């Protein structure tokens, strides 16, 4: 007997990274089930490759100009409503605020709203809107830290309506995308014999590369002679960070790479990965570092802390002194400070696609909404 397909609708603001992979992660939740996923991108030109890359059964591109998403345009509401009526959808997954608004107003579906950042409910209007639709709204934080932030801002929202689903990776696929260490270093112009401390992220105050550079300067005398600090990313602090490195006399030991497409493929060039962010909602770069089999040092705040606990080293945010100590310790004690087996176990247990599916189907709200 053939099982009749059931349908889930997914609304995404855009497919700009990382939201192309976010769409993939949530479509993957329905792998091996009778559910078919239709993913709708509000902005961006049609791209045939996203049907396969997002693991969706259908992808629709509304191709709305981004400036037209300001406010709730009647034409966009009508288009989303029309799509929602084409099949018997049982759930709408909406990433970020605008898709959530559209889903709640244009459809009558239960909505699972995914929150990828802190502060989504700082505004009173958003809090009132969310509370009004609480009867058919499930809020998902991508880390316990994000979920706690939501609960703090929405004390009147039903307790069972706020849950955590960690971001996830396709571990084997990500491993296969990695460059060899030799190739990655060749592409980044890094000498083979160097000991490399890596950091990847926007050059922005939130990422706090300033603390990393100050810690590197303090630790430099006790690190291997051939140590390099490699920073991949671009942003408004680029010149300020260059000037800081120069003022601390470490400019010859720091290489600012700039933006690189698919930077995660180059993590194999590093010997250790350091994240210094002040409020990372999750920290996909940490998962990417784990896949590349790197020891990790991370600031003790935000969602990234949840990934690194018990598998890496944590330091108090903005403490260049403590970070310097850990840089030296890690360089001289790799075997005692890093366990590949423990890191891989945590990846599979909490942050794999399979782990995501297990956690999703255990959610009480999902059991009620998608009951047989």
Is the domain of 194 the same as that of 112? no
What band does 120 get if pLDDT is binned at 50, 70 and 90? very high
Q: What is the CA radius of gyration of the chain?
A: 22
340 vs 323, residue with greater confidence = 323
Q: How many domains does the chain have?
A: 2
> What is the average pLDDT score of the chain?
94
Closest CA to 107 of 5, 4, 8: 8
Q: What is the pLDDT of residue 4?
A: 87
343 and 199 housed in the same domain: yes
Q: 244 and 280: one domain?
A: yes
Residue numbers of the domain that contains 127? 6-168+352-369
User: Do residue 225 and residue 161 come from a single domain?
Assistant: no
Q: What is the mean pLDDT of residues 353-364?
A: 97
Element (H, E) at 272: strand 272-275
pLDDT of residue 2: 59
Query: Where does residue 96 fall: left (phi above 0), alpha (psi -120 to 50 degrees), or beta otherwise?
Result: left
Task: Tell whether 128 is covered by a domain.
Answer: yes
User: What's the CA gap between 343 and 363, in Å, rounded?
Assistant: 26
pLDDT digits (tens, 9 = 90+) for 153-195: 999 999 999 999 999 999 999 999 999 999 999 999 999 999 9
Check which CATH number belongs to the domain holding 19 and give it. Answer: 3.40.50.2000
Considering the domain architecture, whether residues 357 and 243 belong to the same structural domain is answered as no
In a domain, 178, yes or no: yes
Q: What is the mean pLDDT of residues 237-246?
A: 96
Rounded to 5°, the CA angle 214-215-221 comes to 105
Average pLDDT over residues 31-37: 96
């Amino acid at each position: 007997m053939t099982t009749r397909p059931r349908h889930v609708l997914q609304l995404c603001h855009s497919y700009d990274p990382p939201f192309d992979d976010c769409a993939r992660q949530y479509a993957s939740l329905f792998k091996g089930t009778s559910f078919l996923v239709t993913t709708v991108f509000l902005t961006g030109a049609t791209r045939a490759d996203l049907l396969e890359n997002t693991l969706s059964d259908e992808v629709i591109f509304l191709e709305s100009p981004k400036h037209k998403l300001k406010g709730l345009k009647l034409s966009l509401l009508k288009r989303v409503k029309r799509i929602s009526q084409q099949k018997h959808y049982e759930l709408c997954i909406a990433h970020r605020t605008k898709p959530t608004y559209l889903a709640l107003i244009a459809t009558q579906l239960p909505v699972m709203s995914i929150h990828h950042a802190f502060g989504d409910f700082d505004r009173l209007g958003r809090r009132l809107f969310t509370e009004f639709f609480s009867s058919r709204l499930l809020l998902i934080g991508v880390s316990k830290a994000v979920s706690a932030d939501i609960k703090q801002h929405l004390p009147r929202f039903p307790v069972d309506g706020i849950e955590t689903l960690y971001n996830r990776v396709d571990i084997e696929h990500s491993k296969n995308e990695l460059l060899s260490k030799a190739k990655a270093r060749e592409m980044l112009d890094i000498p083979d014999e160097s000991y490399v401390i890596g950091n990847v992220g926007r050059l922005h105050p939130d990422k706090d590369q300033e603390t990393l550079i100050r810690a590197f300067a303090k630790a430099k005398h006790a690190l291997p002679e051939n140590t390099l600090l490699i920073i991949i990313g671009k942003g408004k602090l680029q010149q300020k960070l260059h000037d800081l490195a120069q003022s601390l006399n470490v400019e010859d030991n720091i290489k600012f790479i700039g933006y690189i497409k698919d930077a995660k493929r180059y993590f194999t060039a590093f010997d250790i990965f350091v994240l210094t962010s002040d409020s990372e909602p999750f920290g996909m770069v940490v998962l990417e570092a784990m896949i590349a089999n790197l020891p990790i040092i991370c600031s003790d705040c935000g969602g990234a802390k949840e990934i690194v606990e018990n598998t890496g080293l944590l330091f108090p945010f903005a403490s260049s002194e403590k970070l310097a100590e850990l840089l030296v310790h890690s360089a001289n004690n790799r075997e005692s400070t890093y366990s590949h087996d423990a890191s891989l176990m945590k990846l599979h247990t909490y942050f794999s696609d399979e782990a995501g599916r297990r956690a999703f189907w255990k959610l009480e709200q999902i059991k009620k909404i998608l009951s047989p």
